[in-house]
Structure 1
Amino acid sequence: MTRHHTRTRTRLALLGLVAAVGLGACTPTVRLQVDPIQIYAKLDADVRVRLDKELQDLLIENPNLF
């Protein structure tokens, strides 16, 4: 092989290496962003009744609590 062919092959190999490194650095990134969801909930009257009943039972069991 001549000296010219060796230089050309070396340059092509170097160009291929640079291209491979450049393409390897471009890995895709996936980002998922979820906006906060606002939930408005209304307490049911049944929940309050149950809590009131539990409080009354607690006060009956421990009259000196307050």
Structure 2
Amino acid sequence: MRKAIAAAALVFSASALMACTPSVNVNVNLAPIYAKLDVNVKVQLDQDVKALVQENPNLF
């Protein structure tokens, strides 16, 4: 009789634990970010290359 009660308690506690599983729902709405960084990078690289060529004319 004790084994039956222990088995029933085990089944009840296992089902109770399975019923209480936590769940997390995260909804993230990201807005697109547009940036025009390529223009500044191109200008800076062009200036850097011109300065390096002037400093080292035999570089290329």
The alignment's TM-score, normalised by the length of structure 1, stands at 0.49
Structure 2: gaps spanning 5 or more residues = none
From the CA coordinates, give the structure whose radius of gyration is larger: 1
2:7 to 14, 19, 24: 14
- Hey, which bits of structure 1, 4+ residues long, moved more than 4 A? 33-37
Structure 1: gaps spanning 5 or more residues = 1-6
* Local SS of the residue matching 1:41: coil
Identical amino acids, percent of aligned pairs: 41
* Local SS of the residue matching 1:25: helix
Cα drift, residue 33 of structure 1: 5.9
Residues matched between the structures, number? 58
Q: CA RMSD in A?
A: 3.2
Match for residue 43 of structure 1? 37
